Amino acid sequence: MDEVTDPAVRALLDAINANDRTGFFAALTLDATMSDDGTDRDLTEWVDREIFGVNGHIEVESASDDGRTLVANYRNDTWGAMRTSWRFTVRDSKISRSETGQAR
């Protein structure tokens, strides 16, 4: 994960792996939005269902744009392991948008 140099993205990934919901939301703007496989989702509902309620864990495979664009191995207790892509928009040192989906 050394290639992730953006502090907001790094904080978010660390929070996911530490199962730290408070830290996760601290890395986001108050109006942060997200999409999963191209469909906008309710952020709070999605992270509780896909990350914090099911032991989500992310391992970065490759990163570009200071870590704002990732390919990662993501796993949780519901879906198991999958190769995923992530794109983050950062505003005022916090993540304002997250887009994720299956990596190709």
Q: Evaluate whether residue 31 is within a structural domain.
A: yes
Q: What total number of domains does the chain contain?
A: 1
Q: Evaluate whether residue 96 is within a structural domain.
A: yes
Domain carrying residue 77:
7-102
pLDDT tens digits, one per residue of 38-97: 999 999 999 999 999 999 999 999 999 999 999 999 999 999 999 999 999 999 999 999
End-to-end CA distance of the chain: 20
In the predicted model, what is the mean pLDDT of residues 3-30? 96
pLDDT for the residue numbered 56 = 96
The tokens describing 15, both together, are 């929070």
pLDDT at 35 over 80: yes
Q: Evaluate whether residue 70 is within a structural domain.
A: yes
Q: How distant, in Å, are the alpha carbons of 40, 45, 58 from that of 17?
A: 23, 18, 6
pLDDT at 1 over 70: no
Q: Evaluate whether residue 2 is within a structural domain.
A: no
**What's 45's domain CATH number?**
3.10.450.50
